[in-house]
A and B are shown apart, each in its own frame.
Chain A
Amino acid sequence: VRYKILTVDDSKTVRIIVRKAFKNYDCEILEAGNGVEGLAVAAKESPDLILLDVTMPVMDGVEMLTRVKSDPQLKAIPVIMLTAEGGRDNVLRIAKIGVRDYLVKPFREEVLLAKVGRIIDLKPLTDQPIPAKSIFDPADLLVVEDKPAIITQIEVGLKDTPWKVHGASTQGEALDFCATTPPDLILISLSLPEAAAFSLFRVLRASVKSKYTPIFALAVKTETGQQQQAQTLGFSALITKPIDMTELEAKISKAMNLNTSERYFKIEPEFLLMRLPANCPSPVLAEVAHYLKPKISEAVDAGLARMIIDIHEFQNLPLGVIKLLLQAMQTCRDVTLQFALVGNAQIIAECKTFEDTRNWPFYNSITEAKTHLATKAVAPPLAPV
């Protein structure tokens, strides 16, 4: 649903300021220069919200508000007064007619967004599906924790990522940070004094700017009551202490919808390179399998006809890796992509001992594999699985 906001103000300047304030949100801004125009636009467009000035020519805001509230078709539309008229008696008189909120000029953009955000669900603008950020892109993570050692532990644990870890020890510090540097993800310790984690979560979710920011709860494994409360409130994920950094990194990547394919796939000028790390637990295998077909399609689309699978880091091949490699080779055959593998002596020898892997086309280096593929015309035959 794309929300419609009608701004009724005789000042084009104010209408431009309003339009600018909402430019990053998925809503349509309608404009009118006085009450008569405002009523006409409201009747035609049925906006979800009206921002209304008071002092205007032709028909002022008080008159328009009175007519809106007496019209069965329009009276349900919430109205926020946005006006320089802030005298107590006048405000009370206008409030009695029926307004949802009142904002006196001059006003800050974030205050306007916050007031509107309390009435309609402002969502950041996404014209098209936003291309997922890469695992190699920088991001700001805010850790709200009153124990500095935990913040340091997270900072050290994520030092190989491009993410910057910022620490805050209180709710106030966290809110100040968010006001100046909206973070990409927030981790809040549930052990903050006076249940501050939950009140901070509510404040962040009520703010337009952090409404959709992933917020993780940091909890001691045995504190199940707190964990349940966090899940009920709607924390995006739960991280238990002591923190498993691999799990944390994986959950952060998922919550931020990061494209992690570049860890395993690289499109070189003449071939697609798939490289598996020495440690390939199930989540990593699942991640590689998830990207396998799209990356091969992308390579074919880019005009490539060769793929090199580099598994030289392995000391032995677990069954899960063998299955993944068979899947990769079959996908290559499906799109007639030539492929070769790069392994070490131990892996090559191990593969020779099994029926399913005996014929895998191994080479000792990427250069060797590349040279060999360049001389071949068709993909090598694959033993039936």
Chain B
Amino acid sequence: VPAPTEITPTLLRENINRAVGDVFQTMLGLVPNLVDVTELPPRHDRIPLPEVSPGGRTPLVVGTVGFLGEINGLTSLYLDETFARLSTGQILGMTATELINAGDERVNDAVGEITNMTVGRFKNGLCEAGFPGILTTPSVLRGRNFSIEPTSSTARYVDDFASPRHQVAVDILLSTTD
């Protein structure tokens, strides 16, 4: 294991790119491409997925998992509700009707697990780079027209991924204090 040096945007980008690719390809059969990378200054809020949620009107399902250790932070996956349903159907082999009957809880759980796998893969990559840590259990938020405003001691990176028909935004918040 290499000695920890510092977390660089390149290290984060490489790992999140690999994590999103692995999870979406293995579990959903999709190959999303990284289309935009944004490093935001502290205290800068950003409404994710502006392209698929114009004016924040489209409902979103957001999964969040934390990581604790040499580095601490939170990573959230933003999916619009249609894509969240589609992903749930794909990962569980359920039809649209079966999903409606199963309710939103089933979609939330699937988004939580997709986030868990993605952040797990991301975190494991950071472990191999010398930043060991553990994961928290996932939580899922639903809503529209909302954004997260980090504290001043947080570095923020937002990476947008797109497959031919869908988009996913990954929001990484890193604590910069010891």
Q: A84-B119, A105-B117 are in contact. Are A13 and B112 (CB under 8 A)?
A: yes
The answer, among A13, A55, A86, for a CB contact under 8 Å with B91, is A13
Q: How many of A's residues come within 8 Å of B, CB to CB?
A: 25
- Choose among B23, B110, B116, B121 the residue with the greatest number of A CB atoms under 10 Å from its CB: B116
Using a CB-CB cutoff of 8 Å, which residues 18-33 of chain B contact chain A?
22-23, 26-27
By a CB distance below 8 angstroms, the chain B residues around A55 are 116, 134-137
Which residue on B lies nearest to A34, using beta carbons? B137
In terms of DSSP, what is the predominant structure of the interface of chain B? helix
Report the minimum CB–CB distance from A221 to chain B (whole Å).
48
Chain A residues whose CB sits within 8 angstroms of the CB of B117 once the complex forms: 84, 105-106
> Within 8 Å of chain B (Cβ to Cβ): is A193?
no
**Cβ of A87 and Cβ of B123 under 8 Å apart?**
yes
Q: How far is the CB of A34 from chain B (nearest CB, A)?
A: 10
CA distance A252 to B49 in the complex (A): 58
**Please, what's the 1-or-0 string for B56-93, where 1 marks a CB less than 8 Å from any CB in chain A?**
00000000000000000000000000000000100111
Known: A55-B135, A55-B136, A106-B26. A86 touches B109 (CB 8 A): no
Contacts of A106 in B (CB 8 A): 22-23, 26-27, 117, 121
Contacts of B127 in A (CB 8 A): 86-90
Asked if A231 is at the interface (CB within 8 A of a chain B CB), the reply is: no
**B112 lies within 8 A of A11 (CB):** yes
Least CB distance from A81 to B in Å reads 12
A residues near B106, Cβ cutoff 8 Å: 12-13
- Chain B nearest CB from A105 CB (Å) reads 4
Q: A206 to nearest B CB, angstroms?
A: 22
A181–B88 CA distance with the chains assembled, in angstroms = 27
Q: Is the CB of B92 within 8 A of A16?
A: yes
Residues of chain B within 8 A of A14, CB atoms compared: 113
B residues within 8 A CB of A20?
Answer: 92-93
Q: List which A10-56 residues lie within 8 A (CB) of chain B.
A: 10-14, 16-17, 20, 54-56
Give the nearest-CB partner of B111 in chain A: A13
Contact of A105 among B88, B110, B120, B128 (CB under 8 A): B120
Are A84 and B116 interface neighbours, CB within 8 A? yes
The interface size of chain B toward A, counting residues with CB under 8 Å, comes to: 30
- Is B132 interfacial (CB 8 A cutoff)? yes
Do A17 and B92 touch across chains, with their CB atoms under 8 A apart? yes
- List residues of chain A with CB within 8 A of the CB of B26: 106-108
Given A55-B137, A87-B127, residue A13 in contact with residue B120 (CB < 8 A): no
Contact string, B8-41, partner A, CB cutoff 8 A, digits 1/0? 0000000000000011001100000000000000
Q: Is the CB of A86 within 8 A of B124?
A: yes
Residues B110 and A13 in contact, CB atoms below 8 Å apart: yes
Q: Which residue of A lies closest to B119 (CB)?
A: A84
Name, among B23, B106, B127, the residue most crowded by chain A CB atoms within 10 Å (CB to CB): B127
Binding site for A on B (CB under 8 A): 1, 22-23, 26-27, 88, 91-93, 106, 109-110, 112-113, 116-117, 119-121, 123-124, 127-128, 132-138
Kindly list 9 other residue pairs between chains A and B, CB separation below 8 angstroms, not including A13-B106, A55-B134, A86-B121.
A12-B106, A84-B116, A86-B120, A86-B127, A88-B1, A88-B127, A89-B1, A104-B120, A104-B121
Interface, chain A (partner B; CB < 8 A): 10-14, 16-17, 20, 54-57, 83-90, 104-108
